Amino acid sequence: MIDYSKYLNKAIRDIPLSPIEKISMMAREVDDCIILGVGEPDFKTPWRIREAGIQSLEKGRTWYSPGLGLLPLKKAICEYQKRRFKLEYTPDEVMVTVGGSEGIDMLFRVMLEEGDEVILPTPCYVSYDPIAKMCGAKVVEVELKQENNFRLSARDLKKAITDKTKILVLPFPGNPTGAIMEEEDLLAIADVIKDTDIFVMTDEIYAELTYGEYHHVSFASIPGMKERTVVINGFSKSYAMTGWRLGYALGPRPIIDAMATLHQVAVICAPITSQYAAVVAMNECDGEIDAMRHQYDMRRRFLINELNAIGLPCYNAQGAFYVFADIRGTGMTSEQFCEKLLLEGHVAVIPGNAFGKAGEGFVRISYSYSLDHLMEATKRISAFLKTLK
Amino acid sequence: MEELLKLIETNPTLTSAQLAVMLECSQEQVEKMISECTAKGIIKGYRAVIDWEKTGTSMVKAMIELKVTPKKGRGFDEIAMAIAAMDEVEGVTLMSGGYDLLVEIRAKSFQEIAMFVFKRLSPMDDVNETATHFVLRPYKQAGIIFHEDEEDTRGLNAL
């Protein structure tokens, strides 16, 4: 019997099993379970985007693309970013990636070395921490607090900075919290950053999904920050294109070039069918984004209102498609709550500690589901909460 | 208003309080809009969509194409309303194209529908021609997919 673990490097062995895995396995065993767990849109990719992909296949355009992506797509991305978020980039500052996640991976790998520190506001998306650790870097978590609407404050950031800090991750609008950072919040962060050597990776994959009066402001649009920022974005969330695996990174040319070098040897290029489809997404589908956002927003208001009414407090999350409900009043840990809710209430939600220690005491509930589904789920959660009293 | 109607068209069990939150207005405003729309006949009623096949209840549906003679001055209204008044009839629609009225009817058996066409529709003075199409199996009704529910294949590992 071969001990395969001896072949695995220490960094991967040290990455613990996510609590999400456990809930996911349990949910498969529960009949009639209603799931509010997923982190992807329930909408289908808008038809004309799918059609563009199909047409490219019909024409037999099935080769590798240029490593950094098709030029028409890179141009379309620049125009889109200018139109929607006032960012000025040229096509040679764009790298088309395999989902937003590849951009994160590439940036960390070309920048981080043993001993470097990465500042991570948590709870946050689960991939930053293990990738940074795989690069030998140390992750310094900054706890985001509900009383601050899960925004990163300049004061907390300052406390986390050392002379080893190399990258600050800004994951807003945030998964799992749904938190946003308004322009004044970003200005305060920029004020801290400007006197340091810290580089910023702003993950703006949920940029199109903000609600109410608020429209996403990119950190790269803050004066003086573009030069030291890489923007990660993609098609998965705003265009409901998760399975197409397509994203992009925008940044200073020397950084993008270094990422490209690694990207070309690691993955060669992003899927070309997805790239042809994405050109149509960028150029023609602002209306589709708005329509999906409108639906999410109605569900968001419905869900936040229902959960608060049935005794599961949650703050007014203004971004992404998650609410982050506070379960501390139940006296249970996040995992205990999720397991009990699953087994007794037949509803699956995600424990907040899956997104970092700071998520303990909360659960992530996704509203990328039909209204019918959400209505049934909130009924069940309400009945479950009554049994706890 | 349009937004409210779209919401209750697909989710008629939403309460006015829930609708108010979703539409960012007061519960009173929602209730006022609903009663106005009902009074004006914009909201015609609320019905559940039922897959009778699954209940085992014997139920047959048919779509009947009718060619009729319109009346001077009243067009198709008179004959259409006369048919609509029959209890067995579920729907009457004036159509463009190869025929005039589409009549939807539900009964317990094929025989009953045949008798209805034979005894009640065909003998009407203004009815010139009928063509009866029996519904074999509905796949989608009122926007709801029948039979194989579209399965949510998204995994919990989608983070």
Q: Are residues A278 and A335 in the same domain?
A: no
**Which pLDDT belongs to residue A364?**
96
Establish if A371 touches chain B: CB-CB under 8 angstroms.
yes
Confidence class for position A201, pLDDT limits 50, 70, 90: very high
Residue B157 confidence (pLDDT): 61
What's the pLDDT at B148?
Answer: 67
Look over chain B and give the mean of its residue pLDDT values, rounded to a whole number.
Answer: 90
Residue B156 has pLDDT above 90, yes or no: no
Q: Locate tokens 């028409």: which residue?
A: A72
Check CB contact under 8 Å for B159 and A127. Answer: yes
Do A182 and A168 sit in the same domain of this protein? yes
% of chain A residues with pLDDT over 90? 90
Which residues from A are below 8 Å from B11, CB to CB? 371-372, 375
Among A250, A284, A318, which residue terminates a domain?
A284
Q: How confident is the model at residue A108 (pLDDT cuts 50, 70, 90)?
A: very high
Residue B150 has pLDDT above 70, yes or no: no
The reply to whether residue A375 touches residue B13, judged by beta carbons under 8 angstroms, is yes
**Averaged pLDDT, B86-105:** 94
User: Which chain A residues are closer than 8 Å to B20 by Cβ?
Assistant: none
- Residue ranges making up the domain that contains B92: 52-141
Last residue of a domain, one of A284, A308, A326: A284
φ, ψ (nearest 5 deg) of residue A12 = -75, -35
Residue B149 within any structural domain of the chain? no
Question: Between the CA of residue A339 and those of A333, A366, A373, B154, what are the distances in Å?
Answer: 10, 17, 20, 20
Give the side-chain half-sphere CA count within 13 A for A8: 11
How far is CA A83 from each of CA A80, A100, A218, B129, B144, rounded to the nearest angstrom?
A: 5, 20, 12, 59, 38
B13, part of any domain: yes
Judgement on whether residues B77 and B129 belong to the same structural domain of the protein: yes
Per-residue model confidence (pLDDT) at position A28:
87
Domain count within chain A: 2
Chain B CB contacts of A20 under 8 Å are: 156-157, 159
What's the pLDDT at A217? 97
Give B 11-40 residues with CB within 8 A of chain A.
11, 13-14, 18, 21-24
> Quick one: B9 and B66 in the same domain?
no
**Tens-digit pLDDT profile for residues A270-308:** 999 999 999 999 999 999 999 999 999 999 999 999 999
Instruction: Give chain A's mean pLDDT.
Output: 95
User: Of A233, A250, A284, which residue sits at a domain end?
Assistant: A284
- What distance in Å separates the CA atoms of residue B53 and residue B50, rounded to the nearest whole number? 9
For residue range A215-271, what is the model confidence (pLDDT) as tens digits? 999 999 999 999 999 999 999 999 999 999 999 999 999 999 999 999 999 999 999
Residues B70 and B106 in one domain: yes
Domain housing A303: 4-44+287-384
Same domain, B86 and B107: yes
Instruction: Say what the pLDDT of residue A222 is.
Output: 97
Please tell me which of the candidates B11, B154, B159 has its beta carbon nearest to residue A125.
B159
How long is chain B? 159
| pLDDT, position A377 | 95
A280 domain-assigned: yes
Domain identity same for A65 and A202 = yes
pLDDT of A54 strictly over 80: yes
| Distance separating alpha carbons of residues A298 and A212, to the nearest angstrom | 10
Spatial distance between the Cα atoms of A272 and A71, rounded to a whole number of angstroms: 12
pTM of the complete model:
0.88
Contacts of B159 in chain A (CB under 8 A): 20, 39, 125-127, 175
* CB-based contact B156 A175, cutoff 8 Å: no
B159 inside domain? no
Task: Calculate mean pLDDT across residues A363-367.
Answer: 96
**A191 and A233 part of one domain:** yes
The residue in chain B having the minimum alpha-carbon distance to the alpha carbon of residue A36 is B156
Same domain, residue pair A71 and A159: yes
Shortest distance, CA B50 to any CA of chain A (angstroms)? 16
Tell me, yes or no, whether A69 and A11 share the same domain: no
Q: What is the pLDDT of residue A154?
A: 97
- A240 and A335 assigned to the same domain: no
Q: How many domains does chain B have?
A: 2
Indicate whether B97 and B20 sit together in one domain.
no
B114 in the same domain as B87? yes
Tell me what pLDDT residue B143 has: 81
* A274 and A218 in a common domain: yes
